[in-house]
Amino acid sequence: MGAYLLVIAGATTALTDATAACSTWPACNGGYPFTGAAVTIAWTHRLLAALVGVGVLASAVVGWRTGSTRIRTALGIPAVLYPVQIGIGAVVATTGAPPMVSALHLLIGTAIFGGLLLGLAWSLERRFPTRERDEPLTKSPPTEATPESATPRPTGGLRATLGAYYSLMKPRLMWLLCLVAAAAMTLAAGPNLPVVTIVATLLGGVLAIGASGTFNHVLERDVDQRMKRTADRPLATEIVPVSHALAFGALLGLASLGTFYVFVNALAALLGLTAIVFYSVIYTLVLKPNTVQNTVIGGAAGALPALIGWAAATGEIGLPALVLAGVIFCWTPAHFYNLALAYKDDYARGGFPMMPVVRGERLTRKHIVYYLGATLIAASLLAAVDTLGWLFAATSVVFGAIFLREVMALHREQTREAAMRSFHASNAYLGALLFAIIVDALVL
């Protein structure tokens, strides 16, 4: 995380032009930290560089002692690149190098972080092999029908019926996806966005999520009856008739598109329609039951609210929106693979080719590290393409470290409880990061 903090600090230094306050190297024109914001940022970057350099060297030494060729390579590359990175940093600081040199500086920093991350992933795999039998399945196991007595019986009453329709909308997904759209809107327009646009965009998003969730319930109702985690869903228990659910989903979808089109703009409506179709049809019918990469490709559904929020504010799709969408896309496997580990047997019973079911738990844990690293790199790119400040950087580092700690604990413990802790840490990371974007863009 020290290397990642250095990347974030470097991006902040470039955006704030703090190098202008420190045109000598390694000192800073005789200035000391805390004598000004720009000087403090520049000094922080240089002190971090010194500390991380020691860590990179120590990691290379430890990696060499493992005897593993790939770990040696992964940790040796950062050790070789680091002196080059220091030299480029000195040139940028003393000569005011062109943007291309600064971009190269950031790129090499990202490569150093990537090498350290790969070394960590492979070291964890080597140090904590799977304790129990973990054979990938060549095909999904035969599914057994849930015994009649095991399927929850429908319960009557208006309250139960209203609760069932509310459950169809998958409300647990709403807060996070609406937060993505809100973060994109604030990135695009800051505090200058009309209240009507904000309310209409969030309302349209809630309705679109509700429509997608309802159609998902309809299409997976038979599988839901076979899985313990989903056996109590409204369509699996027949609390809501299929025809009523279809009508409800269609009504939500039309209301969403109408809200976007009338109160926001046509591009937001088109993206909302794309999100509904992608999740309901492409993910649910095509990806989820047929490919082990369902979670990775399906991450596009969660990334679309970033584009919707930006389009709502500007009428177009900008680079920061694409980078924010990339953060969500990379985060999705790092987040959901934890749930897939915790409910591996349930997904196998449902016939879904999730990563732990098809490829095994060991590979899944390693991929969580990969995608966590990709998420952190995408977040650092967001800091580089937009004027996000210290709050965003601190949030990404602190909550990223918490997420990484839980992922490492998952490798060590290999239990359902550890997987769920990592799952909740992933939620905390993204939620905190999005809140930081909103506060940074509106207040700081």
For the whole prediction, is pTM greater than 0.85? no
Helices and strands, counts by H and E, the chain:
17, 0
The pLDDT assigned to 334 comes to 95
Place of tokens 């290397």: 3
- The stretch 427-433 carries a mean pLDDT of 94
d(CA 192, CA 311): 15
Question: What is the model's pLDDT at position 391?
Answer: 86
Whether residue 144 is predicted with pLDDT greater than 50 in this model: the reply is: no
75 vs 143 pLDDT, higher one: 75
Give the model confidence (pLDDT) of 155-208 as tens digits: 557 888 899 999 999 888 888 899 999 999 999 998 888 999 999 999 999 999
Q: Would you state the pLDDT for residue 442?
A: 86
CA–CA distance, 185 with 24 (Å, rounded to integer): 39
- Of 71 and 211, more confident: 211
For 233-257, write each residue's pLDDT tens digit.
999 888 999 999 999 999 999 999 9
Rounded to an integer, what distance in angstroms lies between the CA atom of residue 402 and that of residue 180? 21
Residues 400-421 as b or e (16 or more Cβ within 10 Å = b): bbbbbebbbbbbeebeeebbbb
What pLDDT does 387 receive? 73
How many Cβ atoms from other residues are within 10 Å of residue 280's Cβ? Answer: 21
Condensed to tens digits (0 to 9), the pLDDT of residues 316-370 reads: 999 999 999 999 999 999 999 999 999 999 999 999 999 999 999 999 999 999 9
CA distance 377 to 114: 8
Under the banding of pLDDT at 50, 70 and 90, the label for residue 141 is very low
Give me the mean pLDDT over the 258-278 stretch: 96
